[in-house]
Structure 1
Amino acid sequence: MSPRIRRRECGPVDGWPASVPPLLRRIYAARGIADPAHAHPRLAQLPPPDALGGLVDAVRLLADAIRRDTRILVVGDFDADGATACAVAVRGLRMLGARDVVHAVPNRMLHGYGLSPGLVEELAALQPGLLVTVDHGVACHAGVAAAKGRGWPVLVTDHHLPGEALPPADAIVNPNLRGDAFACKALAGVGVIFYVLLALRGRLRDEGAFDGGAVPDLSVLLDLVAVGTVADLVPLDASNRALVAAGLRRLRAGRGCAGLQALIEVSGRRAETLTAADIGYAVAPRLNAAGRLEDMSLGIECLLSDDPRQARELAGRLHQINAERRGVQQLMVEDAEAALARLPSASGQPALAACLFDPDWHAGVVGLVASKMKERLHRPVIAFAPAEPGSEQLRGSARSIPGLHIRDVLAAVDSAHPGLVERFGGHAMAAGLSLRRSSFDAFERAFAEAVGAMLDPSLLQAELLSDGELLPDEFDRFHADALRDGGPWGQGFPEPLFDGVFDVADWRVVGERHLKLVLRGEGIATPINAIHFGGWTGERPAARCRLAYRLAPDDYRGGQAIQLIVEHLAPALDPGPLL
């Protein structure tokens, strides 16, 4: 579906220091930032841990385990947030004096999501004295109960939205629990466990645990916090921007952990100019690939390695798995496109929502397929695959459009049809669920009904929010670098996007699917290089086009070179609505 371009409203741009270019002042003002101090929030501005509910009990459990030299078992999750959260927990607890810390992670194909009774049974051989979940647990009632049944104390650290009831854990730390007064509700799972470690350090310091020695510097973990936060697509509010910016500074200075430095290297990015977008599009997919196709323990092992040679070897394996994932994803996307073409439509428009299933799909990749189809349709999409080959249980991954809270939709389905969905959880834009294969048709109808009842039809028009036109003298390396370094940009704090009309002086297809352009614009002295990834449609572009684009340094050419990253291209004579 072709999007319309709408320009952001820009507030006052007065009161900024001369060091901030006027372009950036406009960008910040359009994102509601009027105070220069809020443009680049610092760690000192983070809300203190005190208001985060459950911390007192959580810190008591951890401090007692460290004091008694009890084995602490950290159970992660099989995505990048869960993997980085696990690495932060293991590294941080060891820094704070825990001498017996082990970790585990569910296998997506064998155990499903989170702490399950089956996983607990496998973990029994480790004989933990305390079990700590990171990035999951608030919906793992049966798994927590199974662990408690074995006599293990359980600490849940999570950020996912809770259901009506909470699991029977000894302590739960989650900023999204009802009534929790903590200011930052957008923390990723890795941010939650980082806050727990900050509070634990304060407790141990007050008890004199570090007398005669240096207080551990937990900021060394911020590289991992940054990667997990960006990868999980949580909103980059002021607190998350402070955490991500601090982590990026460590990575750019070459002070990241060996595993992340190796992942940056194999992804072909430059550490000294690393951005949040580089994390999201290059580093995180390689880390995520292990949990999608194999076992995330490989990714966690990479993040915990302090040996550069071993880290490079592990990162190389993750790179290979990611290449395999891309091949599997491409085949599944082609299947999904064919399935969508067969779906009935109303007045030439797709249905309000789509549920897709193929018995040959891989459960680890359905989230990526759902995301691709959601972008194509601008409709909520759920893609399903067998939990394992031939299984009667389906695992689904849902992706939504802005304005429709997909977890709330699943909750509405569960309320209206008890037992139809076996398990679900997630966020506003992404969620996961499981159900029986025999229930798929009934779920598809119930999901469509729930979406129809909750979706504002005006949200079905895809929209690109533009920061307007660049001035002719802003097409240069100075402004490209300023935009790159003016973030971190991401979910809820979008990277600057511009629009304008250009003449296409030259074009060619690269890599079979991408469109390389040479553009000329009014008042711009020299031609501008541009790339439209996935932009080749089989037809040559119009001689004059309206583009929605990003301005970026062209590090491949080096020097003062710039390029435009095209997000949308349409003939200038028919550019679509511009509001």
Structure 2
Amino acid sequence: MTPRKIVRRSLPDQPSDWGQALPPLLKRLYLARGVRSEAELNYTLRELASPFDLRGIGRAVTLIADAIRQHQRILILGDFDADGATSTAVAMLGLQMMGATSLDFRVPSRFSDGYGLTPGIIERLEEEGALPDLLITVDNGIAAVDGVVAAVRRGIRVVVTDHHLPGEALPDADAIVNPNQKGCPFLSKNAAGVGVMFYVLTALRRHLAEQGMFEGKGPNLGCLLDLVALGTVADVVPLDHNNRIFVEQGLRRIRQGEARPGILALLEVAGRDHTQISATDLGFVVGPRLNAAGRLDDMSLGIACLLADSREEARRLATELDQMNRERRNIETGMKEQAQELLASLSLDIEGLPWGLALYDPDWHQGVIGILAARIREQTHRPVIAFAPDDGGELLKGSARSIPGLHIRDVLAAVDARHPGLLKKFGGHAMAAGMSIGTDRLETFSAAFDQVVRETITADALEASITTDGPLAPHELTLETAYTLKRSGPWGQHFPEPAFDGEFEVINQRIVGEKHLKMVLRPQGGGAVIDGIAFNTGAEVPDFTRTGARIVYKPDANTFRGRTQLQLLVDYIEPADFGTEVR
């Protein structure tokens, strides 16, 4: 593993309104994550922020309601990632529940269309005789200035629902709902695209109920929360209180077997028990299988899985997505090997690498460059942009992944300001972004990117570190602790799953599955013997039985042959050097 500095989270003073019901360990964890009162751990739906605080939602609801009442053609324009897929599914299912009778969706092709609503998509709809009366974007649209112009010129009304950061110019849409647009008072700026669309539906339901469209309050939108949870976790947005409510409520539905057949089928093909899942399973099990369709082929397949009503159809589509994900992993492995060879060819040690890495290979698959950038970022602890040629051969498409302390979209904006025309287009968030450049501009861009990164951060930011919640006492290393931590989420981005550090005697170790380190551990200073496993270490590892090990770990309940025991999932391991012979 790449050497890292272990940093422990600091604990603020305990707030005066903190109750006494929580055990000390959980108080410690929540305080370290910025929770100041037990009210912030209330995940009931009534604690959600009001949809009517979203700027533009009133106008959006009026347009959609009019289209439903007049039986107009409504088209949902989605995106090719998990947030886009779940947003599209939520829009389709929710609008059907509201009475929409002429409803369809389209997803741009990652390879031929690029991101979001473009003039080309409108032109193709016109050629097909499929122009809608109302077009609703989900998880995109805030940067679709030209695409909205093309739609409006053809008499299409456009409602943009998005969460991405806006640029200098906003599209001239009939309504824009985006918590990050200027002047929007909505408190949860971290909402995913699927969360924004869910809010539009809740406001629409109230509007239609007030107009007498329903008996009572209208349809139960709670049945969509499994999709909202999936999109929120898979898009890696910060889990503020509002987003934790969405995720926790969605997880409860899934555990109770009340989720969409497609979500249950995706868990089934991955060998996961839906009654025991956590937010981590949504991010690392369901999300990648759903994303595989958009990365390698057409996200319409993933959306079809989410929309499937029968278990049989859902299982068939989930199996196909699982096969795509296996293919994606094979492609990714080959690309990572090529990237490592490219890094080695630079003949530089880690300190000699550029601060901002821009990598390119003509054989790389543009659907997998985001994952590749993340893998190389983990290895080098530098912001990384991986480029691949587009289908037309005229542009290079790049996917960026950043490090803590560096807002990657702001870096790209600075490059764009210094070198007008160098970036054909760009957009994204603090930690991830996408862009395109001319095929002959890679060298110029690489130098400009590295320069802006050097001016933005200090060398300390390039030092790899891993943050923990400190040690667990020997009496806390129990199966009950593992269960408690799992029940006490949801954990995720900016509300990280607890991880602990400590020194252990390694009683024995062996490699399993060719690349995973299996160990038997005992806390240094005494305690019960515990199993531990470090995944993807490779076959060549130090002999920790001689030196002992300092590890960063997460307690986990591991069931094998019908028996459940405590197991430590090891995120990081290094020699402890507290003795040449421990035993």
| Shorter-chain TM-score above 0.5 | yes
Offset of residue 524 of structure 1: 5.2
Which of 216, 232, 235 pairs up with 1:232?
235
Once structures 1 and 2 are overlaid, which stretch shifts more, 510-519 or 276-285? 510-519
Once structures 1 and 2 are overlaid, which stretch shifts more, 453-462 or 296-305? 453-462
Return closer, same or farther for 1:489/1:46 CA change in 2, 3 Å cut-off: same
Match in the other structure for 1:21: 23
The percentage of aligned residue pairs carrying the same residue is 51
Offset of residue 466 of structure 1: 1.0
Partner Cα separation in structure 2 for residue 324 and residue 541 of structure 1: 35
Offset of residue 503 of structure 1: 0.9
Match in the other structure for 2:143: 139
Deviations along 1:71-115, whole A, 9 cap, x unmatched? 110011000000000000000011111111101101111111111
Return closer, same or farther for 1:471/1:16 CA change in 2, 3 Å cut-off: farther
Deviations along 1:296-333, whole A, 9 cap, x unmatched? 00000000111110000000000000000000000001
Match in the other structure for 1:111: 113
Return closer, same or farther for 1:152/1:233 CA change in 2, 3 Å cut-off: same
Match in the other structure for 1:100: 102
Match in the other structure for 1:174: 178
Match in the other structure for 1:519: 521
> Mapping of 1:12-91 within 5 angstroms?
12=13, 20-91=22-93
Match in the other structure for 2:552: 548
Match in the other structure for 1:465: 467
Tell me the SS of whatever aligns to 2:435. Answer: strand
Offset of residue 560 of structure 1: 4.2
Give runs of ≥4 in structure 1 deviating > 6 Å: none
Match in the other structure for 1:510: 512
Offset of residue 522 of structure 1: 3.6
Contact 1:7 1:468 in 2 (8 A): yes
> Mapping of 1:239-388 within 5 angstroms?
239-343=242-346, 345=348, 348-388=351-391
Partner Cα separation in structure 1 for residue 256 and residue 20 of structure 2: 26
> Mapping of 1:414-429 within 5 angstroms?
414-429=416-431
Structure 1 counterpart of 2:220, one-letter code: D
1:127 is the counterpart of 2:131: yes
Match in the other structure for 1:161: 165
CA RMSD of aligned residues (A): 1.7
Which 5+ residue runs of structure 1 have no aligned equivalent? none
Offset of residue 230 of structure 1: 0.2
1:220 is the counterpart of 2:223: yes
Return closer, same or farther for 1:347/1:332 CA change in 2, 3 Å cut-off: closer
Contact 1:472 1:523 in 2 (8 A): no
Offset of residue 558 of structure 1: 4.8
Contact 1:355 1:444 in 2 (8 A): yes
Deviations along 1:42-79, whole A, 9 cap, x unmatched? 22111101111111111111011011000110011000
Return closer, same or farther for 1:347/1:187 CA change in 2, 3 Å cut-off: closer
Tell me the SS of whatever aligns to 1:245. Answer: helix
Count of residue correspondences? 573
Contact 1:355 1:383 in 2 (8 A): yes
Tell me the SS of whatever aligns to 1:422. Answer: strand
Partner Cα separation in structure 2 for residue 383 and residue 574 of structure 1: 41
Tell me the SS of whatever aligns to 2:7. Answer: strand
Partner Cα separation in structure 1 for residue 161 and residue 562 of structure 2: 44
Offset of residue 40 of structure 1: 4.0
Return closer, same or farther for 1:300/1:4 CA change in 2, 3 Å cut-off: same
Tell me the SS of whatever aligns to 1:506. Answer: strand
Tell me: higher relative CO, structure 1 or 2? Use CA pairs within 8 A at least 6 residues apart: 1
Contact 1:38 1:238 in 2 (8 A): yes
Contact 2:514 2:539 in 1 (8 A): no
TM (normalized to structure 2)?
Answer: 0.95
Partner Cα separation in structure 1 for residue 22 and residue 42 of structure 2: 11
TM (normalized to structure 1)?
Answer: 0.96
Once structures 1 and 2 are overlaid, which stretch shifts more, 138-147 or 310-319? 138-147
Structure 2 counterpart of 1:85, one-letter code: S
Structure 2 counterpart of 1:199, one-letter code: A
Offset of residue 30 of structure 1: 1.3
Contact 1:28 1:39 in 2 (8 A): no
Deviations along 1:375-413, whole A, 9 cap, x unmatched? 11111000000112x612111000000110000011111
Partner Cα separation in structure 2 for residue 514 and residue 346 of structure 1: 26
Structure 1 counterpart of 2:270, one-letter code: S
Tell me the SS of whatever aligns to 1:561. Answer: strand
Match in the other structure for 2:8: 7
> Mapping of 1:379-528 within 5 angstroms?
379-388=382-391, 391-522=393-524, 525-528=527-530
Offset of residue 456 of structure 1: 3.0
Contact 1:353 1:448 in 2 (8 A): yes
Partner Cα separation in structure 2 for residue 560 and residue 161 of structure 1: 45
Contact 1:134 1:189 in 2 (8 A): yes
